[in-house]
Amino acid sequence: MILYMKKFTVEDLKTRLDKYLAAKLPEFSRGKIQKDIEAGHVKVNGEVITSPHFAVRKDNEISYSPTEVVDDSLEPKNIPLKTLYNNHGLLIIDKPAGLVVHPGAGFKGDSLAQALLFHFKDIRLVGEEGRSGIVHRLDKDTSGVMMVALTPEIYEHLKDAFAERKVKKEYIALVCGKIPQSHGFFDQPLGKSKKDFRKYTTKESQMVTSKPSLTEYRVLEYLSSPPLEEGAGGGDGVDPVKQSAEGGFNRVDFYTLVVVKLHTGRTHQIRVHFSSQGFPLVGDELYGGKPAMKLNLNRQFLHAKKIEVQLPDESWIEAVSELPKELKELLKRLNSQKANLL
């Protein structure tokens, strides 16, 4: 998660990039800065630099977008948690949209990490410093199932399970447009965009580094927008959209409801893969184009429906989250036959 951008003009004649930023930003460790540089979060004179040893010179312009900072001094906060499973040191919760997992530098809102610290007093000691048992995350505006380790043993087990791809995740998404194939895969590497630190891309010429990424989808239902009332500018927000020549969206005639399985777990993977094929998620302004697509939804239509993981005793646990009310209501407005089944 990218939080903000810092800009500097180098005054020294010559110094290493990581040393310069560490001196300018004492609130960040040099190790964190080095990782951010290697991940492509720093530009010098507009060019992405991925070597911490890069020599910056006087009058160089540096822009740095720090990733979120894990704060081990977080104060607990009484934020309600909806628990789906709590046993064997494993907690599975139903995260609402609008709640960030970890607050970053400068973030003032509520976070899941603060809620966990309030409800589970010893969780601060689980996992790497500041992780509070969190082994994976959902975007702020994605809802649904999320696992948290309550013991160090389960934390290490879950880390290994994710690394070995022994965690099964299933999402529900509503995308703009009519996907022609009822079942398919997006097998496209993802990488951080050189142009916009907030975004990821499938275009290799525009990415810093790439990682293999595989998304599987199956169509649940095709939906069409209700006709606009005469003289209305979209009625109650359902505004049929067509793709513009610039690649954005002005009006949409059809939507596709899909169930999605992740075979890899990259940041923004579902959002980028569908958008890259011309089917951005409803409500996803970062990857989807114009606000007309939002259908009066104050979030993206992406819900983590189900998660399955193998426990240390080799048994499997499954947790399922019901589609949130606001997503069901939107589907009903589009005359979905699946709204009450998800």
Q: What is the DSSP letter of 313?
A: T
Tokens describing residue 328: 């069901």
* Per-residue pLDDT tens over the stretch 276-301: 999 999 999 899 865 556 678 889 99
Q: What is the phi/psi pair of residue 86, to 5°?
A: -150, 95
Q: Is 139 a catalytic residue?
A: yes
Please, are residues 58 and 8 in contact by the beta-carbon 8 Å criterion? Answer: no
Confidence category of residue 147, pLDDT binned at 50, 70, 90: very high
* Per-residue pLDDT tens over the stretch 228-266: 544 333 333 334 344 433 344 455 789 999 999 999 988
* Per-residue pLDDT tens over the stretch 10-32: 876 678 899 889 888 876 778 88
State the pTM of this model. Answer: 0.74
Confidence category of residue 80, pLDDT binned at 50, 70, 90: very high
The whole-angstrom separation of Cα 154 and Cα 63 is: 39
Q: Options 3.50.50.60, 3.10.290.10, 3.30.420.40, 1.10.10.10; which CATH number does 6-64 get?
A: 3.10.290.10
What are residue 63's DSSP bridge partners?
7, 43
User: Which residues have a Cβ under 8 Å from the Cβ of 23 and sit 6 or more positions away?
Assistant: none
* Per-residue pLDDT tens over the stretch 178-219: 999 999 999 999 988 877 878 889 887 787 778 899 999 999
Question: Of residues 18, 94, 139, 284, which has the active-site annotation?
Answer: 139
Where in the chain is CATH 3.30.2350.10? 83-164, 168-307+322-341
Domain 83-164, second-level architecture: 2-Layer Sandwich (3.30)
* Per-residue pLDDT tens over the stretch 81-111: 999 999 999 999 999 999 999 876 556 678 9
Provide the mean pLDDT of the chain: 84
| CATH of span 168-307+322-341 | 3.30.2350.10
Give the Cβ contact number of residue 23 at 10 Å: 11
